[in-house]
């Protein structure tokens, strides 16, 4: 005698159907892709905040936090650009004059270029050749860079507020006494 089949309930509708029109596309992003997008967002924010400020890392300046973060990935392409300018005989002073006080934007663009190249190589070549494990490691590295950028942003805001005088001293003896008009 054949066994009777158990009646099962129909499968529930996919959860993505109720989340909106972009949900199926967003669900296709892996952890690696999200890490790259988060890092790109921090790079854009940092480069826009540091735009039109001088590139001076030798002075005590709140924008130094942002510039040091941008130097992580952006230094190598800038060196290649300068090397190519010297090889082609381009006047380095013209490039420096054009980029004066816009170095953060160039560094941000170089960071995004390096991030895009590393993302594409890892996503399309390394994934096919060695599998997903290198992408997990790269996602961890991207997350580290993202959180380091967030920490640099927080340090920038803290030092900027402190140097602009928007923060009260932590101890009452550090507060300046009121200036009294002494007339006799």
* pLDDT tens track for 29-62: 788 999 999 999 999 999 999 988 877 777 778 8
Residue with tokens 């066994």: 3
Q: Are 47 and 70 in contact (CB under 8 A)?
A: yes
pLDDT number for residue 37: 94
Mean residue pLDDT of the chain comes to 79
Q: Are 107 and 69 in contact (CB under 8 A)?
A: no
Residue with the larger pLDDT of the pair 80 and 20: 80
**Which range, 51-60, 86-95, 124-133, 149-158, has the best average confidence (pLDDT)?**
149-158
pLDDT band (50, 70, 90) for residue 164: confident
Classify residue 66 as left (phi > 0), alpha (psi -120 to 50) or beta.
alpha
Is residue 137's pLDDT more than 60?
yes
pLDDT number for residue 142: 94
- CA geometry: angle at 110 spanning 50 and 157, to 5°? 25
pLDDT band (50, 70, 90) for residue 16: very low
Is residue 17's pLDDT more than 90?
no
Is residue 21's pLDDT more than 80?
no
Is residue 15's pLDDT more than 60?
no
Q: Are 119 and 29 in contact (CB under 8 A)?
A: no
Query: With pLDDT > 70 as the criterion, what percentage of the chain qualifies?
Result: 70
Predicted TM-score (pTM) of this structure: 0.72
pLDDT band (50, 70, 90) for residue 144: very high
Mean per-residue pLDDT, 120-134 = 87
């Amino acid at each position: 005698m054949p066994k009777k089949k158990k009646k099962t309930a129909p499968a529930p509708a996919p959860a993505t159907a109720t989340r909106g029109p972009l949900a199926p596309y967003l669900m296709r992003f892996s952890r690696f892709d999200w890490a790259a997008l988060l890092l790109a967002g921090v790079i854009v924010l940092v480069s826009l905040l540091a735009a039109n400020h001088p590139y001076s890392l030798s002075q005590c300046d709140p924008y130094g936090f942002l510039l040091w973060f941008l130097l992580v990935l952006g230094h190598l392409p800038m060196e290649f650009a300068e090397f190519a300018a010297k090889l082609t005989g381009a006047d380095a002073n013209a490039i420096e004059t054009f980029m004066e006080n816009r170095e953060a934007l160039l560094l941000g663009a170089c960071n995004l270029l390096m991030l895009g190249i590393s993302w594409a190589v890892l996503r399309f070549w390394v994934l096919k050749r060695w599998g997903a494990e290198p992408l997990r490691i790269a996602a961890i590295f991207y997350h580290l860079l993202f959180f380091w950028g967030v920490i640099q942003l927080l340090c920038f805001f803290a030092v900027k507020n402190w140097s602009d005088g928007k923060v009260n001293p932590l101890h009452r003896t550090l507060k300046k006494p009121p200036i009294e008009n002494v007339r006799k």
